[in-house]
Structure 1
Amino acid sequence: MATKWRNRLGFGVRAFLFTFGLSGFLIVSTYGSNYVYRDYFHTPQFRNELNLFAQYLNLFELNLIPLEKAKQSLTVSQDEIDEYRNGLGNVTDQITFLKNEYEQLLNEAESANNRDAAEIYLAERDRKIEEIAQIFKSDDYARAKIIADKEKSVEEYYRGREEYYLDFLSYKGQLQYYFTSGMSDRVYTNILLADDESITDKMNSHYMSYISSYSIPTDNSDSYYWLRHYDRRVNSLLPFKGEIAVARDLPSSSSIGIKYKKYEQEQIALWAYGLASLVSLFACFLLMRKRGGAPATAASWVPHYNKLPIDVRAVSTILTGWATLYLLFSIKDRFLQVWDNPFDSGWRMFIGMAAAAAGLVITLVQGKLIAARFRDWPYMKQEWRSGLLNKVWQSVKTQILRAKNSLTDAFLSTSTGVQLFIVLTIIYGLGLAALMTIVDPVFVVTYFVLLAAIGLPLLMVLIKRIGYFNRIVLKTSELAVGKLGQDLGVSGKSVLAALAGNINVLKQGVTTLQNEQAKSERLKTELITNVSHDLRTPLTSIITYTELLKKEDVSNENRIAYVEIIDQKSQRLKVLIDDLFEVSKMASGNVELNKEKVDLVQLLQQTLAEYDSAIRNSSLQFRLPNMKMPVYASVDGQKLFRVFDNLIGNVLKYSLDNSRVYITIQTAGNQVTISFKNVSKYEMSENRDELFERFKRGDSSRHTEGSGLGLAIAKSIVDLHEGNLAIEVDGDLFKVTLSLKVRE
């Protein structure tokens, strides 16, 4: 038992030492930058006081300007006169505004039969009107008015600056100064010199504890904002140079002396506290290595604590940790108050540190217990699911979902709900009226009038709506068994009309789906037929010429010719199979693009160069405008080369002889458009969208070379690049447009 208490006490001591060390770290990191100076006289705070004293000295002594002199120096420019006159508009506007302003006052005075007030308002108005007229009539009169306003503002300024004079006298009693100006022989100082003494005899380290050279310019910098009022009126300010010092015999009761001593005490205390906290942290580290970290958590209260929901324990740990940090920061904030009230502030710091140490112990113990739970993650997840917050959240989500579903169901159709409410109200009202006829037969006539005016029309509307609803039900039953029939009639804007419209749309969708299915079956049949034809043709040739080669009477020349034909048909068959494999691979999406920065113009020119011999041997004339400037895009160069190769190959195979072929590249924004235009030698009678289908050819007789997969492969490659490949057919004019994103 004694050992357990010793362990707990030892851990408490370590916690207190660690808390003390943390508080020292916070205090030094917060206030340390303010106490790195040699003494108070070298701090920015004292420098600010010197600047303030220099401003006061310049204002009240060095460049003192009497009030009358400031008034005499006031001037008024013609621009100021014009601005003063036209500040509220021209003379007519000002007089009109003034009359309107006093008209209300005169009307109120006359309504109250107060003739004296009316006469005063009238005289005041006429005087102001005359004054406005004089201002616009005479420059001298306007100038005098402006001078009077300026003098008034100067007087207000001089009265306002007197509040700073007492501060100036306070500084003047504590600081020594000596200033001269190169533009004047006068010396400004508060140092008493004997006849045989010079300023150097007094202004030295023997008599002064701090000396600072100082210059006072005449500019309008922020440090001389009091002089700005003068700078707009006079230009007689003089620059001064000199020294400001603090005497060694400065009384300790002076504000500067008090600040000096307080800074010295706080500086010693801060660094001593910081050093002690560092020693405390080192001692805590040694004790922790010797005796271990947090105490064992096998106390009797631990099983009860672990029964709490995991989120409650986590929140408790966070709160105790936050409280510990709050106590540490409160210790930091109270540190500089120790010199003002040592006993109270020191005692509060000690109590706060003990409380922070206790909070640290509680936080560490709780953290250790929760960390042990985290090691068993499946059990941790189970505890979280049974936690208080999760239960509350699940309950809230369930209630929200139920309320949302109920509200959604209630307002799926607002008009239907309103109509139902109206119908029920009418039925209830008619039932109530029927009861009234039983109570008093006098109401029988009124009841039949209501029944004829409201009940019968309502009954007709209900019968009509029910019949409409039955037709909708019958139509849906027909659609379910595949009978399409005629569309339902849609009349009005009721929910039933909207339902009938939606059923018509669904019927049209079924029709479209059936057409697409029929088209798909047709294309599938054509695909099988085309594949069989295109594969069987070269294969038949290979078999035929192979049989011929087996004959013994075949001449050597025929044998060579047969082998050449077999080779051609084999290559033809290989191309068909390779193209079929490639288009199947692209359709499955199992293709990787190796994108890089590619000049599309150069790539297109390289493709054309591959066909240079074929183009020269053909009767086609290729026109290539807009092929001078490079156009860059992030693409797979090899794949895009295949697209250009297929498109140019189609142009050579299907273009009308002696016609022109146009290949253009245009950019707009972040899009590049490449178009191939030619005149077809075959009639383009099929659906142009089907040209992208596999094994489709512009030559329906299939007499031309090719697999019929060129456009399908090209479109798949362009789609992989997130581009677009479109076909336009206008008579025999055939145009393929390729769009890609340019490289950003």
Structure 2
Amino acid sequence: MQGDYFESEEYANQMNHFVTLLHVYELNKMTKEEMKEEITVSEEEIEEHRMRYGTLGDQISSINMQYEQQIQEAVDSGNKAVEEALKKERDAKVADITENFNSDEYVRSKVIKEKEKSIDEFFLDLAEYRHEFLNLEQAYKYYLKDRNTDTVFTNLNLGKNDSVSDFMNNKEMYYVQDYTALQNMISYTGIIENFMPYNEVAEEILQKQNLDFTGQIGLSKQASDKHFAISNYKDYQKRQMLFIGYLISSIGALIVSYFLAKRKPATVFGSFEHLKPLYGRIPLDVRTVMLLLTGVILLLSMTLISEQFVYYHSDLFSSLIELVISLIAAASMLAFGFIQLKFLSEYRNDWPKLKEDLNDSLIVKSYYAILDAFIVKSIGFQLLVILGIAFAMGVLFVAVLVAGGGPIIVIAFAFGVISLPIFILIMRKAGYLNKVMKHTEELASGNLGADIPVKGKSAIAKHASNINTLRKTVTVSHKEQAKSERLKTELITNVSHDLRTPLTSIITYTELLKTPDLAPEDRDSYIEILDRKSKRLKVLIDDLFEATKMASGNIELHKEKVDLNQLLQQALAEHNEALSQSTLQMRVSQPDQAVYAFVDGQKLWRVFDNLIGNILKYALENTRVYISVKEEQSQVVLTFKNITKYELGEDLNELFERFKRGDQSRHTEGSGLGLAIAKSIVDLHEGSLDIEVDGDLFKVTVILEKLN
């Protein structure tokens, strides 16, 4: 119904792909320097850059908060040089932000640098993706002329006396298309699926050229049949012809079937009546299974038939053989299914017969047989054995008497060799069963006791093993419950301690502010302390709220393609000042190429930030810290290793609990929520975060799925 291949959506997408690449690599003649000269900065862009991180007050406040804790630590430690350096760096950033709000030209120069960097990235992408254009250019030929400059762009080998019409015709091309309608459907920087990333700066500059081309693009008959553009065209033609053949055959078969059925409409079931008594002897449940299997085979056969219409097969003979076999199988199963349905439909007028056949089915008979054999299920097998032995001994005794008394030694041998060992075996099994039942009673009363000895592979031994497993499960459950209660108590204690400390300071200094005739310098000092402690209290509450949201999974991830190498470097850069001032020696190893993952970059940055922050707080002074990024098959493995200054407990899993710290004295500034938040974030990304401790070596391993 679609018609020609060149009218299909498949070809249109393919052509748009080539036209986009043609515009990017051939029709765009601007150099990198020329594009940079065309850069303009609007007032809106200046304002956006200026307000990117909030108002002037917000940005200055944010910078002051970033440095406040570090400066306070330097003051507390009496390190005047570090204090002055931090203040100098903070003041420089504040001056830079202030200048942003004072001078448009200052901001304009920054925006120009950002756009120049974007243009550099655009030309790097051009070099990386050129091979795709060269591949398509082997199949497509074009002759285009710029209407403004009369410049010609073509990949035709035109001689002096050659005309474009000598090449752009039905003899040389499968299809020729006018370029005018195509050029309005492209992107100037090549943004299409699975191709170059969109570059907004380059797109804006290239659109200003107002290029207007006229000409033609054709799919060349000289291209190799192995080229995907040509093979797609050939396969489409073959599929179209094959489908038309199937369609004509189907219509013919339908007409023939109609006339055959009209001539002999009553011959379908007439010759199968003699099979009805034989069919009736089959149990009803077996007949139901037969009907279901017939339906399944019929559906499979019809599926095979339909596949012949969808897929093109290079071996036409094999395809026809498969089609014929599928048709025969489907027709046979259809007839067999109709016969079964006809016989089963007779139950509509004979419900007592249906009930009788249901009672005679294999499932119902088997069910009642099992119930009759094991009325008392726990000792059914033992009773069966005892009755069997008693019956055998009775038969033997009767046989001896019938034989005229016979030698007594025969009865003694039968009793000593057969009956007595079996009797002893049954008594031992009964004793073992009693022991299992006794342990079960103790377990039910709450006395867990020791494991039941498991002897052999009998049903009683298996039952004993199950009881042992249940006992162990109950024991573990009790331990986990006790641990949960202990951790809950510790959590309440830690929350109370960490929240009460700044709250106490706030209350104390608030009371001091009420003192009459308080000196101005003291009032300013108290207000500064109140400000610091209230912000500390806010951080604790925010972290607790975030940890709770993470643990409940009630948080939305905004996932995108992220370079983990770059994200880790950003996190390290954030702590660069603190790391450089510490006595720690950082050793960071990363692959040279980018390592991508489909993650929420902001949330994962929080993981790296927390782990690096923990290293700064808890790593032993004058030691090395190792951070590495490795690719292992379909995963990315990040490790953080350091020597701890505090001795850690044995239960490492407790470090993931909220308000747990490596510093049990709780003298450090952390909230105790870092690892809990980090693990929750990694879990939400379906990754893993594990801790290992070997002596004082503390190692955190983060594993995420790699994006290929």
TM-score (norm 2): 0.48
Task: Please say which structure displays the higher CA radius of gyration.
Answer: 1
